[in-house]
A and B are shown apart, each in its own frame.
Chain A
Amino acid sequence: MTDVNSTISRAEVCAAAIADAFAEDGEIFGSPMGTLPMLGVRLAKLTSNPELVISDGESLFLGGVPPLFAKGDVVEGFIPFRRVFDVVAYGKRHVMMGATQVDKHGNQNISAIGDFAQPQRQLLGSRGAPGNTVNNRTSYWVPKHSPRVFVEKVDIVSGVGPKAAKAAGPAAAKYNDIHRIVSNLGVFDMRGPDDTMRLLSVHPGVTVDDVVAATGFALHIEGDVPTTREPDSTELMIIRNVLDPKSIRDREVPPVEAAK
């Protein structure tokens, strides 16, 4: 068994912060893209939100909560891509996506860097981001917080932030809900003035100045910024011994030499 009193890693703090983003969601489809989001969603299901509906990331709703990337658990439903689109429109879904760029107004870019007609760097394409952000709750996960990711204005708007949604009219704004942005440095929401990004907490060992320096726009910061909570012993046991015994999480967020 892992010693739960050993140093809590940055990845473990991120997992708990992601789990917290799904804690109040109730009985909806928690839909993570990537390793840490999957860990956080499964942690939420085993702790704060047992009602959450999760999938194997392929086409099955899982009745149990298997370790990362494991198969063969109890199945409770069928969720092929066509039904994912149905649930997006139905709205009972919270997706946590990645983001190559996020801007001050919570717009996200996974399409391309540079000019759309001839990009400097073509990325995946906009995938489901345009539809997700005007239909269901959407959060973002950024494993490497830097001024290249957090930019004044994204090159291409894939995911729609609240200000752009309002500008596009009631059909776009009605269900737009950019809930949390979790990075390896802190936790954010979109409740700053004029729908801008607000710093909610900094992870243990990170200062507000660190976050400001790694962000390419002026973050909204209110008073004393709290420290992101550390996972408790139950959560650490679940992360280390149940969901991610191989420490896949450390590949996405390498352990930080504790500066505490």
Chain B
Amino acid sequence: MTRPRSKKMTIDEVVAQLSDGMTIGIGGWGPRRKPMALVRAILRSDLKDLTIVSWGGADVGLLAEAGKIKKLVYAFVTMDTVPLEPNFQAARQNRTIPEICEWDEGMFQTGLKAAAERLPFLPMRAGLGSDVLVNNPDLKLVASPYADENGDLEEFVAVPALKLDVALVHLNRADEHGNATYLGPDPYFDDLFAMAAEKTFVSCEQIIDTAGLTTDVPVQRVLLNRMMVAGVVETPNGAHFTNCVPDYERDEKFQKHYAASTKDPEAWAAFKERFLSGDEAAYQAAVQAFHAEQA
């Protein structure tokens, strides 16, 4: 029987597909189901001048601290239980990210939708009257061609398409062809990221066969179809230290350690040396050792 091709890749093979100056969308939401193994691989690479599009968490903080970001498009950056991401905060306060686009969080969805639908923009109320328009002078308004009930031609924000070169997302399960399921509470916007991008790479907790994706799992949880996906990587615990429910919760202890380490240059150097100087396997081993010490 002929079957669709396998798109199994390694983390390094994914990063080899990226290049300087690319616009990269990162799926998940804040500190939830982020493709952190792929983010860590970008940290290790020579990639630079990236445009990062993210409902941000530590993904944005780490990339900012490593000087990878030329332009950041975000609506918030938070780790929830640590509300303010310290590396992102420092980057903003020291002005180390050359271009900043702070949008409303719903505008983000609209921008991704426009890109996914191959439209130059979609209209929206969000942004009107706020400093989102002041601080993003490129955002333009568009008048409705239809009069409203008062005879007004309402003017909306023309949210430009957030076209991505690459989307990186992390799902619970995938098959080798790129079909992928989310098993947690929220799909977030990973399907939209995928459709807004030229190429999408999915990392997942486990690659299983296609039939297994819907064994005891409702078909509605198949969020990504293989036609949206260029590559699949199995990265167990790959969302760490964000959550990947029900496989694991957020690693609060580690997150606290991360946040505390940023407060002092020596502690931060030690953190980087211990956790970010090796490959993904070394990272996971270091995290295990960290927890063994804490126990």
Q: Which residues of A contact B (CB under 8 A)?
A: 58-60, 80-82, 85, 88-89, 111-112, 116-131, 133-135, 156-160, 164-165, 167-172, 174-176
Contact = CB atoms under 8 A, between A and B. Distances in A.
B83 A124 contact: yes
A196 to B, nearest CB: 16
Interface of B: 29, 56, 74-78, 83-84, 88-89, 92-95, 100, 102-107, 109, 124-132, 134-135, 144, 148, 150, 152, 154-156, 185-189
Contact of B93 (A88, A121, A169): A121
A118 B95 contact: yes
Given A81-B189, A82-B187, A88-B106, A130 B155 contact: no
Contacts of A169: 128, 152, 154-155
14 contacts: A58-B186, A80-B185, A81-B186, A82-B187, A111-B131, A121-B89, A122-B92, A126-B76, A127-B104, A134-B128, A164-B130, A171-B125, A171-B156, A174-B154
A134 B134 CA distance: 16
Contact of B104 (A112, A131, A170): A131
Contact of A168 (B89, B100, B129, B187): B129
A80 B216 CA distance: 21
A230 to B, nearest CB: 32
B89 A122 contact: yes
Contacts, number: 146
Nearest to A131: B126
B118 to A, nearest CB: 20
A130 B92 contact: no
Contact of A157 (B95, B109, B131, B189): B131
B130 A159 contact: yes
A172 to B, nearest CB: 4
Contacts of A135: 125-126
Nearest to A84: B106
Contacts of A159: 130
A-B CB proximity, top 3 nearest: A131-B126, A168-B129, A172-B128
A89 B125 contact: yes
A131 B129 contact: no
A126 B186 contact: no
B152 to A, nearest CB: 4
A184 to B, nearest CB: 19
Nearest to A175: B125
Contacts of A60: 185
Contacts of A176: 129
A8 B249 CA distance: 38
A131 B125 contact: yes
Contact of B154 (A112, A123, A171): A171
A85 B186 CA distance: 13
Nearest to A58: B185
A131 B150 CA distance: 22
Given A60-B185, A121-B89, 9 more contacts: A85-B109, A116-B134, A116-B135, A120-B93, A122-B93, A124-B78, A134-B125, A158-B130, A158-B131
